[in-house]
Structure 1
Amino acid sequence: MERRTLLRSAVVGAGTVAFGFTMTRESFGYPAQTGPSPYGPLQPADANGILLPQGFTSRVVARSSRRVGSTGYTWHGAPDGGACFADGTGWIYTSNAELGSGSGGVSALRFSSTGSITGAYRILSGTTRNCAGGTTPWNSWLSCEETTRGYVYETDPYGVRAAARRDAMGRFNHEAAAADPDRRVVYLTEDEGDGAFYRFVPSGWGSWGSLGSGTLQVLTESGGTLSWRNVPDPSAAGTSTRNQVSGTRRFNGGEGCYYRGGLCFFTTKGDNRVWVYNAVANTLAIVYDDNLTSSAPLTGVDNITGSGSGDLFVAEDGGNMEICIITPQDVVAPFLRISGQSGSEITGPAFNPAGNRLYFSSQRGTSGSSSGGITYEVTGPFRS
């Protein structure tokens, strides 16, 4: 049997994989297949080396090791996960620094209502390999350390409150986080070849909005049934969190994580998959798998975000430096491509509150070095 057909049969036969449930207005029939982008084909590279659909433009908003505009603030190296937050009539974009040995942290860019950069500043310092993270409903940014026994730090995008380390969220090779306001939990991914998928439950129903204490749980599977079980020692003092609970469901290199409408989408780079956990039905499905997709355009799946139209935007670490779109009609196609930067990866995709500007970074830019990162903005007629 041809490998793609064999894999498809195995996936469809798995007890925890469910296809075709409803997401917001549309119904999915996973896994996504290659097709034409709703934005049309990519045009030749622009002056910034980015191939975009017709009607879209790009600009550079920050470069590692250089001052941001007229702010006097030097942008951090190795920009990684990011998110946008409303700020009056403007907005803020936060960006992690995936640098080692206490050189990581988070910086922020402040924009006016017209998109002009009005400020840049640091909101977290002295941490290690801040990779991805996630937003909270109370407008904080969770910055996750991608290192053995790493922490989650809750930061203030507005630069008013000091960052706080959230020990109860566990010590492991953190990647991304996604808050679920319906169940009042935070989902967490782990970047290990045999990694787990977690959720953090703050102490008591009334404590939603406070992550200082709570229970770390891991997704398990037995007889095709998924369950959440408590991790006995979130500090991983003796045994790693992923190896403390029998029946833990394994995932090959957890990466980005994004929640919307009862569904938590997350990616696994080791097998080039996009997953969805249906929190209502307590099921898993494979949204995208390059082995189950003809002429698969998306490889090296990494950070993930979504737009108001229900489209998912998935950034590549490797591949051919694309951000690909997965539509509610289960079509996967390139949305943009960065040329001349094969030694880098795309990180931190995030939309501004209005949904008409997309921010992201090339972590190592044209130099292939962490000091050469470039942060971009793409503006255009995004679907709403």
Structure 2
Amino acid sequence: MFKSASYILCCCAVFALQGSWAASPEKGQSVCLLSDPPNQCGQFCLRTLGPMQSKLASIEGKQDVMQTKLLAVQSRLEAQRTSLMSKLEDQTTSLKSELDGQLKGQNTEIQSKLDSQLQAVQSAIKEEKTEIQSKMDGQLQTVNSTLEAQGSKLNHQLQALQSALEAQQVAEQSRLDSQLLALQSEMKALHTNIVNSILLAVQEKLDEHKADLQESLKKMITREDFEARVNETEGKIGAVQANLPALQTAIEHQLNALQNQSGSQQKTLLENLSKMNSKIAPPKFELIGSRYFYIEQNLKQNWSTAAASCRQMGGYLAAFRDEQEWSAVTLKLRNDWYWIGINDIDNEDEFVSVASGRPAPFFLWNSGEPDHLLNQDCVGIKNTEMYDSPCRDEELFICQWDNEI
């Protein structure tokens, strides 16, 4: 019913706005618009539209009432919504505060538990670290003690070997000195004996001639015989005197031969001592291949200072016999520069070994080396190849024990 009334009301509103029509213009008929329906319409029209206008007015009144009620409902709903929003905000704030308190308490509790667990873990780690450190200290002390014992043992052995070597050297030197003294005594005695024998022989000859002269005088020999015998005696004496330089020269030759023999014996003895020394390597040197080398891995020096350091250790800056020895030594080197004992300081492009003073037997130059630039007279190595470099540069170095190469 309400829908029908609304439909009729809408129709009337259309009629009121546009007026009524008598015929559709689309069918070619005229249209009469009513600008004043009460005066322009007849009684039939008024009777027909009157109830509808009354109903329309009633409907409009009801609509106003409904509109008023609707506004009131909207006002109540808005008030309720505002109240609900306020309560919701209060409850949200309260709930948030409560949740914040609970979360804070839980966070505090969790943080406390975590702190306790962390302290427990830290304590356990600290105890374990202390235990490990204690074990490591014990092991280190054991290793140090073992190394000290071994070092002390090696030092005692080295001292014993050095003492034995020194005693042997003293004994050999004593024996050599005694042999030399004995040879000198023998040479002096021989010289004395030879001179005495010669003088004695001369004296005997003189005595014989003197006796002969005396015997001749006794027999009253003639003046001519006496002079002849005197001349003969003087000739023999002159012959003896002429033979004296030859005898002295022979004696000197014998003395020189004895001295040469003594010198050769002394040289042999020194060579034997040198060979004995070569069997005992000094500290820090290690056997690489068939020879002893020392590789300095920390201290960098210029070439001259490095050579002096090797001499202080009992060795020389190193040179190499062949490629096999070169490869064995360079396997132990780092990726760095090392001095070796080869240079052409005296004569350009004549590279000699500082240990032997002879031309170095083995080279393995880098491409383009030696380039003979100014003051590049000393040989160094890097990455298993040789370079000529300025002697003032500071590099690591390699020493050899012997002076054979």
TM category (shorter chain) comes to under 0.3
**What TM-score do you get using the length of structure 2 for normalisation?**
0.16
Q: Between Structure 1 and Structure 2, whose CA radius of gyration is higher?
A: 2
Higher helix share: 2
